Amino acid sequence: MEAFQLLTRGGHFNKSRFQKDVQLFQKTEPRRSAPSVDVSESAELPTELDFFKYAEGGAGPSSKRKASASNEAAKKKRRTEEQAGTDDEDADEEEDVPEDPQQPLQPKHRVTTKGNNAPVPIETFDDLRERWQPPAHLLVNLAKNQFSQPTAIQSHCTSIIMEGRDLAAISPTGTGKTLAYLVPIITSLQNPASGNEDAGKGARAVIVAPTRELAQQIYNECLKLTEGRKWRIVLFSKATANTLSDKLARDKVDIIIATPLRLVACLQSGNLELTNVRHLVLDEADRLLDTEFHDQLEEIIAACSHSKVQKAVFSATLPAGAEQMALGMMRDPIRIVVGLKDTPLPLISQSLTYVADEQSKLPSLLTYLARPYNPPVLIFTSSQPRAASLAEELVLNSISHVDCLHAGLSMKGREDAISRMRRGESWVMVTTDVMARGMDFKGVREVINYDFPTSVQNYIHRIGRTGRAGREGKAVTYFTNEDAPSLKPIANVLLQSGSSVPEWIVKLPKPSKMKRKQMGKVKRGDTVNNARKVGRNDAVKKRDMIVGSKRRAAKATAPKGDTVATGTGDEEK
Ligand SMILES: Nc1ncnc2c1ncn2[C@@H]1O[C@H](COP(=O)(O)OP(=O)(O)OP(=O)(O)O)[C@@H](O)[C@H]1O
């Protein structure tokens, strides 16, 4: 009877009487995968992270206070620098450059200029009209696209390019660098004093970008600004390269927008001359000046042989080596930096999330996506197979509107994915670094670095896909035990741009040169879910067994002397 009562109506269990037994049951279950820890919120070193033996100092309550103090100090330092216009990294270089009293105050970002006789920047697009008489349709198109005021980089670059000066421009992601060169180029090509007389003798401006997607985006911006007027703007592809084999057709071209490979292929085939080029722009210059593109860039630069060719490089990041290379190919250049070099805008709230190991990333991401988030989210992985694998996993886990874009897709596949993203049909876009630079999707509110970035620059460009054109954004970066040696430089970027970092990360020693070189070289599998890989391996084994047993059966029944086909399962498929 007592047992029946217990089973049907339940019984009272005296917890205080059986306290010891209760404690036994209160022990937490071991977890299948390590939990993720958003370390930006917590100043203490989580116990799971004790493997960072080199994290100096304890993580008691006092260190918590210190952590917030150091974060606060970093924020304060940044505020002071922004107000006073000092830049640690650039301080030495700037010493002999007096502040130009004629420069208008930039409302949001300080601007540092280096070089002889930097021209006075424009304050409004009306200034552009008064000083250089741009084509009327350009001003109409600016207004039509709600570009009412130039951004800081546009104010400065417009007058620098209009005055015929070579230029290295560094400005944070999403601050309008594309228009900073397109507006003055369109103005100057229309202007009799600066290039109009050479019209009809071949391309007068060449804009080079590292990816096809970015070249396409620049082309679209160019079309917006030139609408209503017959400009011949060419986005280089195999098809246009064929059209340009006709000299009459190519002489009419005004502006070429291309990736280095396509351009060089056309130059080498003898179907293109760049001798009439007045403006050569390298967008994402540090990427273009990388070893991968180096030879092609040299060829393009050599082909732009006009005595008055003006060179300009643009990027949100320009490491010292790339900057030296860029300035080395210029005449009396002006270097301009908006904000702090290699620092994202504080509009992007950044955080680091500890995920222990590769296998814990997927559960962490699924937990993240199970909570309310702001679509579209851009998720960066380190390789094409990983991007495809992660997208597949998300779909299998019922995440809605998942999309994938990487360079391994067909051209049509890539274009379609970009269009879906622009139409707002993709809520979760899984991608690779092909999307890390330059791509402008205004609506991207969150970026997740599923795989740790390969360098500080890579980090800045990836997270710069959000927080564009004055909007706020959020960036989350997963890190595993293996990423530990690369954590410090990224944490410094967070601090520099006003996001908080716990004390134990701040205290990590600066990685050695060798460790820095190894950044981004962590080996990761092609699939993001090993369990599924095991499933696949089993399937392959099963298939091979069936093939083997069929072969044996065929051999047994075959009349003596007949040969039986042998081979691997793949061949039989
Ligand atoms: N003057 C302006 N007024 C308002 N919006 C602008 C202005 N100039 C550019 N924008 C918008 O700002 C966004 C970012 O511009 P853009 O892509 O040129 O940035 P970027 O600095 O080149 O970024 P990245 O470093 O990522 O390449 C775009 O959506 C663009 O339309």
Ligand 1 pocket check for 449: Cβ under 6 Å: no
CA distance 73 to 362: 35
Beta strands 348-354 and 428-431: pairing type? unpaired
CA distance 178 to 78: 27
Ligand 1 pocket check for 442: Cβ under 6 Å: yes
Ligand 1 pocket check for 440: Cβ under 6 Å: yes
Give domain status of residue 542, yes or no: no
By the 10 Å C-beta count (0-12 exposed, 13-18 middle, 19+ buried), 30 is classed as exposed
- Ligand 1 center from residue 173 Cα (angstroms): 8
CA distance 304 to 316: 25
pLDDT of residue 69: 41
Which residues sit opposite 257 in a β-bridge? 207, 235
The residue ranking higher by pLDDT, 12 or 409, is: 409
Among 146, 158, 177, name the best residue to mutate to test ligand 1's pocket (greatest count of ligand atoms within 8 A of Cβ): 177
Among 108, 148, 178, name the best residue to mutate to test ligand 1's pocket (greatest count of ligand atoms within 8 A of Cβ): 178
Please say whether the beta carbons of 278 and 247 come within 8 A.
Answer: no
Q: Within 10 A of 124 (CB to CB), how many other CB atoms are there? A: 13
Average pLDDT over residues 21-34: 41
pLDDT at position 273 over 50: yes
Domain shared by 424 and 500, yes or no:
yes
Domain shared by 270 and 383, yes or no:
no
* Residue with CA nearest ligand 1 atom 14: 174
Q: Look at the chain and report how many structural domains it folds into.
A: 2
Ligand 1 pocket check for 344: Cβ under 6 Å: no
Average pLDDT over residues 415-439: 95
The residue ranking higher by pLDDT, 2 or 111, is: 111
Sequence-ordered strand ranges (E) for 209-333: 233-235, 255-258, 279-283, 310-315
The domain boundary residue, chosen from 519, 541, 561: 519
Element (H, E) at 248: helix 247-251
- Ligand 1 center from residue 267 Cα (angstroms): 31
Would you call 552 helix, strand, or coil by DSSP? Answer: helix
Would you call 284 helix, strand, or coil by DSSP? Answer: coil
Q: Specify the ligand 1 atom closest to the Cα of 440.
A: 17
Average pLDDT over residues 148-155: 95
- Ligand 1 center from residue 525 Cα (angstroms): 36
Ligand 1 pocket check for 158: Cβ under 6 Å: no
CA distance 323 to 423: 37
Domain shared by 422 and 515, yes or no:
yes
- Ligand 1 center from residue 221 Cα (angstroms): 10
Domain shared by 424 and 306, yes or no:
no
Domain shared by 376 and 491, yes or no:
yes
* Nearby residues of 40 by Cβ (< 8 Å), 6 or more positions away: 350, 351, 352, 353, 494, 499, 500, 501, 502
pLDDT at position 552 over 60: yes
* Residue with CA nearest ligand 1 atom 8: 176
Domain shared by 154 and 290, yes or no:
yes
What digits encode the pLDDT tens for the residues 46-74? 443 433 333 333 333 333 333 444 455 44
Sequence-ordered strand ranges (E) for 201-321: 205-208, 233-235, 255-258, 279-283, 310-315
- Ligand 1 center from residue 172 Cα (angstroms): 10
Ligand 1 pocket check for 441: Cβ under 6 Å: no
Domain shared by 260 and 325, yes or no:
yes
Ligand 1 pocket check for 247: Cβ under 6 Å: no
Concatenate the DSSP letters of all residues of 142-205 into one string. HHHTT--S--HHHHHHHHHHHTT--EEEE--TTS-HHHHHHHHHHHHHH-GGGTGGGTTSS-SE
Domain shared by 325 and 386, yes or no:
no
Please say whether the beta carbons of 443 and 376 come within 8 A.
Answer: yes
What does the block give as tokens for 43? 């100043």
Q: Specify the ligand 1 atom closest to the Cα of 465.
A: 26
CA distance 83 to 327: 28
Ligand 1 pocket check for 316: Cβ under 6 Å: yes
CA distance 448 to 399: 15
Q: Within 10 A of 335 (CB to CB), how many other CB atoms are there? A: 23
pTM of the model: 0.78
Cα 312 versus chain centre, distance? 21
Would you call 242 helix, strand, or coil by DSSP? Answer: helix
pLDDT at position 119 over 80: yes
- Ligand 1 center from residue 314 Cα (angstroms): 13
Please say whether the beta carbons of 465 and 380 come within 8 A.
Answer: no
What digits encode the pLDDT tens for the residues 211-257? 999 999 999 999 999 998 888 999 988 778 788 888 888 889 999 99
Give domain status of residue 196, yes or no: yes
- Residue 384 structural domain: 348-519
Give domain status of residue 262, yes or no: yes
pLDDT of residue 311: 98
What does the block give as tokens for 140? 């109409």
Alpha-carbon separation of residue 340 from 79, 104, 171, 223, 486 (angstroms): 11, 18, 8, 32, 22
Q: Within 10 A of 543 (CB to CB), how many other CB atoms are there? A: 14
- Ligand 1 center from residue 469 Cα (angstroms): 6
pLDDT of residue 110: 85
pLDDT at position 21 over 70: no
The domain boundary residue, chosen from 491, 519, 547: 519
Please say whether the beta carbons of 308 and 163 come within 8 A.
Answer: no
- Ligand 1 center from residue 250 Cα (angstroms): 30
Do you know the residue count of the chain?
Answer: 573
Ligand 1 pocket check for 469: Cβ under 6 Å: yes
Using 50, 70 and 90 to split pLDDT, how confident is the model at 540?
Answer: low
CA distance 45 to 128: 54
- Ligand 1 center from residue 487 Cα (angstroms): 30
* Residue with CA nearest ligand 1 atom 2: 147
Would you call 528 helix, strand, or coil by DSSP? Answer: coil
Cα 564 versus chain centre, distance? 55
pLDDT of residue 508: 79
Among 348, 468, 471, name the best residue to mutate to test ligand 1's pocket (greatest count of ligand atoms within 8 A of Cβ): 468
Give domain status of residue 545, yes or no: no
Ligand 1 pocket check for 150: Cβ under 6 Å: yes
The domain boundary residue, chosen from 338, 372, 407: 338
Average pLDDT over residues 332-353: 93
Give domain status of residue 360, yes or no: yes
pLDDT at position 106 over 50: no
The residue ranking higher by pLDDT, 402 or 36, is: 402
pLDDT at position 116 over 50: yes
Give domain status of residue 2, yes or no: no
pLDDT of residue 256: 96
* CATH classification at residue 458: 3.40.50.300
pLDDT at position 35 over 50: no
pLDDT of residue 550: 77
pLDDT of residue 456: 94
**β-sheet with 255-258: strand ranges across:** 111-114, 334-338, 167-170, 310-315, 279-283, 205-208, 255-258, 233-235
Using 50, 70 and 90 to split pLDDT, how confident is the model at 109?
Answer: low
CA distance 284 to 433: 13
CA distance 525 to 40: 27
pLDDT of residue 50: 36
Ligand 1 pocket check for 213: Cβ under 6 Å: no
Give domain status of residue 18, yes or no: no
pLDDT of residue 504: 83
Domain shared by 153 and 286, yes or no:
yes
Domain shared by 271 and 392, yes or no:
no
pLDDT of residue 207: 98
pLDDT of residue 41: 45
Lowest mean pLDDT, pick from 79-88, 173-182, 429-438: 79-88
Using 50, 70 and 90 to split pLDDT, how confident is the model at 537?
Answer: low
Ligand 1 pocket check for 464: Cβ under 6 Å: yes
Q: What is the ipTM of this complex?
A: 0.99
Alpha-carbon separation of residue 196 from 60, 181, 208, 277, 305 (angstroms): 69, 17, 22, 12, 18
Percent of the chain with pLDDT over 90: 58
The mean pLDDT of the chain is 80
pLDDT at position 97 over 90: no
Beta strands 111-114 and 334-338: pairing type? antiparallel
pLDDT at position 476 over 60: yes
Ligand 1 pocket check for 497: Cβ under 6 Å: no
By the 10 Å C-beta count (0-12 exposed, 13-18 middle, 19+ buried), 66 is classed as middle
Domain shared by 359 and 486, yes or no:
yes
Ligand 1 pocket check for 147: Cβ under 6 Å: yes
The residue ranking higher by pLDDT, 13 or 136, is: 136
Average pLDDT over residues 361-384: 95
Ligand 1 pocket check for 109: Cβ under 6 Å: no
Ligand 1 pocket check for 281: Cβ under 6 Å: no
What digits encode the pLDDT tens for the residues 478-507? 999 889 888 999 999 999 999 999 888 888
Domain shared by 275 and 165, yes or no:
yes
Lowest mean pLDDT, pick from 278-292, 384-398, 479-493: 479-493
Ligand 1 pocket check for 151: Cβ under 6 Å: yes
pLDDT of residue 42: 47
- Ligand 1 center from residue 311 Cα (angstroms): 21
What does the block give as tokens for 195? 């290039």
Among 179, 208, 283, name the best residue to mutate to test ligand 1's pocket (greatest count of ligand atoms within 8 A of Cβ): 179
Ligand 1 pocket check for 179: Cβ under 6 Å: yes
Give domain status of residue 76, yes or no: no
